[in-house]
Each structure stands twice: as C-alpha cells, then as structure tokens.
Amino acid sequence: MVTILFSASDESWEKYRAPLETAFDAVGLDVTLSTRHDPETVEYIVYAPSSGLVDFSAFTRLKAVLNLWAGVEAVTGNPTLNVPLARMVDPGLTSGMVEYVTGHVLRHHLGIDDHIHNQDGVWRPEAPPLAQDRRVGILGIGALGAACATTLAGLGFDVAGWSRSQKTIDGITTLSGTEGLHAILARSDILVLLLPLTEATRGVIDGHALDRMPPGAVIINPGRGPLIVDSALISALETGQIAHATLDVFATEPLPRDHPFWSHPGVTVTPHIASSTRPPTAATVIAENVRRGEAGEPFLHLVDRDAGY
C-alpha cells in the first residue's frame, strides 16, 4: 500500500480524486490517497503550491513531490524539500496552451480586432498577409513552447524558438544564448513567452529587449508575469514600439483592479486561463510517476533544482 497525500485546493480534490483512483488502478498500484495523512506515513505528495504547504520537514518517509502545475517557481527553491520534484507535463495542458497561443496569434495576424471594433461603413478590401510572411518567435520551446511552435509552423508561420540549450525541431529556426535572444527579438512580429520563471528569465523582456523588436510588434505572454518589466512594456506601448500585448499572467494575481493593464487600449488581459491541467490526463502522468518511484525507475519530468525549472 503506497501512501499518497493530495495537497491542493478542495476544488482540485473534487476534480482529481476519481481520475487519480482510476489511474492508480490502471498501473496496478494499491494506494491510500487522502488530503490528510500522518506526515510520517506519507511517501508521495501530489502538490499544488497554492495548498499552503511550505514545510516538508515532517514528511520523513517522503520519496517524491509530484507537482500538479507546469510552473514550479514557488516550490523549487524550498530548502525543506530534499526529495525529487517532478513538474507537470500533461497532454491536456499542452493542447489547451496550443489552442490559446494559436488563437491569439491568429487574432493579431489576421487583424481581427479591426473588423470587430472599426465597423464604420467604409469598405477597405486589404487582405492580411499569409502566415508564411509573419514571423513568430517563441521564447521557451519546452513541452508547451515546442508544441505551439510546431502547430504554428504547420499553419505556415515563419517560426523561431529560443531555449537555454540548443534544440533541433523540424521546420523551426532554433536559437539559444544571448545572441540567439537578440536575433529572435529582432525577427519577431509576434513574440510568445513560454519560459519558466527563474533567476535567469526574470525581467528578460525589459526596455532593451523591447527596443530590439520590430516596431509595432505584438507580445503574447502566457508564461509568467515577471518575465516582463511592466513599466518598460507600458512605455513601449505608449510609443507604439509594441502595438499590443496579450497578457495571461502577472506579477500579482489576481491583477489588482487599479493596475494600468486593465484599462490600457493596447493590452488584453486574460485571467491566467491560457491552459490548465486536465484531471484525466494529468492523473495518468501522476500515477505513472508513482509507479516508476515504486519500481526504482527514473521519474518523468524531474525539475533541475539548480536551473529552477
């Protein structure tokens, strides 16, 4: 019997309980899964940082923490956590992100807003360019960014991606390092941020970065709010250097009511809904990782605690 603590919101427990039980059955594991266990008996924690659990030192038999979220910035630096930490890579989460990014890229590419907001009786028969003539850059081509990149390339967009290590993805221009960052900024009519938040990525989109972009470029940020220096973005929107920013994530969430992003005509705010884990598929990933832990096999999607993601 494997003892598993589910440490997330009550709402998550409602959604995850049955899919997890099904998934543990499917991998042949006999588990006791609960939101309450004596800490000294717990072997795995299925975890969301929002649960409020920050001190792991009482969990003396703990074998791994399995994060329910893709982002781990709230837990990776926790000094009381001395066991492997896995992040979430979930096909459902990936599909949702691909749909969000593709939808918002197409909105800007096709100039859909002009037709929705400027229907003024004047016939302007200017067709938008083809996707092949629109350069899209994606900062972060991991699980989510690579899936978005290949989908957008499949639609014909001229896609480049930037990552920490140099990657090879069919049909995508791949870049890394500082020079690669400068190059991708300079070629991105539409820039999508899908980096994790780490010490190295915080503030990566500052005034200098924005100045390197083509005038009138668009930014889409479903990554993490502090990747962007907000004041620099607002200045770039004021000058027209950046034509529009679609932002899903913010330094403070919920975004405070008086934040200038809410009322800025050049900003679209979405409330951290770009994507989320989907219990049926995410439960399968969690169960597979517990199975691996029990079989002495390497965990999937381990976080590199030094790199911070």
Select 19 or 140, whichever has its Cβ closest to ligand NDP.
Answer: 140
Select 235 or 270, whichever has its Cβ closest to ligand NDP.
Answer: 270
Residue type, 209: A
Sheet of 85-86, strand order: 31-34, 2-7, 44-47, 64-67, 85-86
Catalogue the active-site residues: 224, 272
Select 56 or 100, whichever has its Cβ closest to ligand NDP.
Answer: 100
Least separation in angstroms between CB 93 and ligand NDP: 6
CB burial of residue 136 (10 Å; 0-12, 13-18, 19+): buried
Q: What share of the chain is helix, strand, coil (3-state, %, to 5)?
A: 35, 20, 45
Which residue, judged by CB position, is nearest to ligand NDP in the bound state?
142
Give the chain's radius of gyration (CA, Å).
21
CB-CB contact of 31 with 1 (8 Å): yes
Least separation in angstroms between CB 288 and ligand NDP: 17
CA distances from 223 to 168, 191, 195, 202 (A): 22, 12, 6, 11
Rounded Cα distance between 202 and 134, Å, is 27
DSSP 175: E
Select 22 or 278, whichever has its Cβ closest to ligand NDP.
Answer: 278
Q: Rounded to a whole number, what is the distance in angstroms from the first to the last CA of the chain?
A: 31
CA distances from 90 to 15, 195, 258 (A): 15, 17, 35
Residues 6+ apart with CB under 8 A from 285: 88, 89, 90, 300, 301
CA 144 to chain CA centroid, Å, is 7
Only one residue has tokens 């995508």, namely 172
Least separation in angstroms between CB 128 and ligand NDP: 27
Select 37 or 87, whichever has its Cβ closest to ligand NDP.
Answer: 87
Select 58 or 200, whichever has its Cβ closest to ligand NDP.
Answer: 200
Structure tokens at 63: 């074998």
Q: Which residues bind ligand NDP (CB under 6 A)?
A: 70-71, 89, 93, 140-145, 162-165, 167, 194-198, 200-201, 222-224, 248-249, 272, 274-275, 309
